[in-house]
């Protein structure tokens, strides 16, 4: 079996490429610079003979076409892993729009370019496309809207890809990781404009950061994502989304419970917006309700789900909230 992996120089891409090499696959590993791919086969006996290293820049169609041509000359491509990408953070008002345009060129258009270049070979092989998305493909935090938009786009592109090509045997797997130890945040910081100290939202930064840190897990091992990819490739339906990481499971489970609009109203309440519009009841509502009146009804169940998702951390900041958390037990 042969796999083509983008962004294999670090993070998920490197972990996935190494897992495939460990399992005996042939891997075409790509990154912006071949130098970033040095050491990829280290510690894997015989991997050098099954590994090709190619330069590929998502914003440069020429490098994509060249890499695809070399890969196709080596034999059938069974799996494409679209992993390469990055983040730019900033509010809708303050983000650097030139940097955002470049972000979309890489994450959205670059992924489309790679997929288009390899799709004929993948169809011929009745192969699989693995799309490395994110929990950000289903929800947003403050300042992540533009990055999340690229992942929302990837999820939509993935659905269209399988609908258009399932008749030819193509499989599409969308991986939705939470927080992992990939250097993601440091790269995003370098790519993003510094937060303005006198902006309209500057007094909200500390709250936004606290809410995000409270719900995300400490950075997890990227090998967990590689294992999830390997398991999904081994079996499963023509199209599947795979949540990877403890935080991804609980955050997206709660989002599903609340529904897309209810989720947004809940997130608004978490950052200081109107709590009475949230589908999750306030601590005061939980405290005044009798056990029989609320415990078996949807609002109470949603409060429990939010607690289980680790997203009622703000309740511990008040006496009423602490008492309500006890009532939820």
4: CB partners within 8 A, 6+ apart: 27, 28, 30, 68, 71, 77, 79, 80, 81, 118
Active site annotation includes 86: no
Q: Which of 86, 147, 168, 205 is catalytic?
A: 147
149: CB partners within 8 A, 6+ apart: 104
Cβ–Cβ contacts within 10 Å for residue 156, how many? 12
- Residues present in the chain in total: 329
Q: Which residues are catalytic?
A: 147
């Amino acid at each position: 079996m042969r796999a083509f992996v983008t962004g294999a120089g670090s993070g998920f891409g490197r972990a996935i490429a190494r897992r495939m090499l460990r399992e005996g696959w042939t891997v075409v590993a790509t990154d912006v610079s071949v130098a970033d791919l040095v050491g990829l086969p280290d510690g894997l006996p015989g991997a050098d003979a099954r590994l090709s290293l190619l330069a590929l820049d998502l914003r440069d169609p020429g490098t994509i076409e060249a890499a695809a041509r070399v890969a196709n000359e080596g034999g059938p491509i069974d799996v494409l892993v679209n992993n390469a990408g990055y983040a730019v953070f900033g509010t809708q008002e303050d983000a650097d729009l030139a940097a955002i345009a470049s972000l979309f060129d890489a994450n959205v258009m670059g992924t489309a370019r790679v997929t288009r270049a390899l799709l004929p070979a993948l169809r011929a092989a009745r192969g699989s496309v693995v799309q490395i998305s994110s929990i950000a493909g289903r929800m947003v935090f403050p300042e992540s809207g533009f990055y999340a938009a690229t992942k929302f786009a990837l999820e939509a592109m993935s659905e269209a890809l399988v609908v258009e090509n399932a008749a030819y045997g193509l499989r599409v797997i969308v991986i939705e990781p939470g927080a992992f130890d990939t250097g993601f945040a440091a790269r995003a910081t370098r790519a993003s404009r510094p937060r303005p100290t006198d902006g309209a939202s500057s007094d909200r930064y500390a709250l936004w950061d606290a809410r995000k840190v409270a719900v995300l897990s400490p950075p997890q091992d990227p090998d967990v994502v590689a294992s999830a990819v390997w398991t999904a490739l081994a079996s499963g339906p023509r199209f599947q989304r795979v949540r990877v990481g403890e935080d991804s499971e609980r955050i997206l489970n709660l989002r599903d419970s609340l529904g897309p609009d209810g989720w947004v109203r809940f997130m608004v309440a978490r950052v200081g917006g109107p709590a009475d519009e949230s589908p999750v009841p306030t601590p005061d509502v939980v405290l005044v309700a009798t056990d029989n009146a609320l415990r078996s009804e949807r609002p109470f169940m949603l409060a429990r789900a939010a607690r289980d998702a680790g997203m009622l951390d703000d309740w511990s900041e008040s006496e009423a909230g602490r008492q309500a958390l006890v009532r939820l037990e």
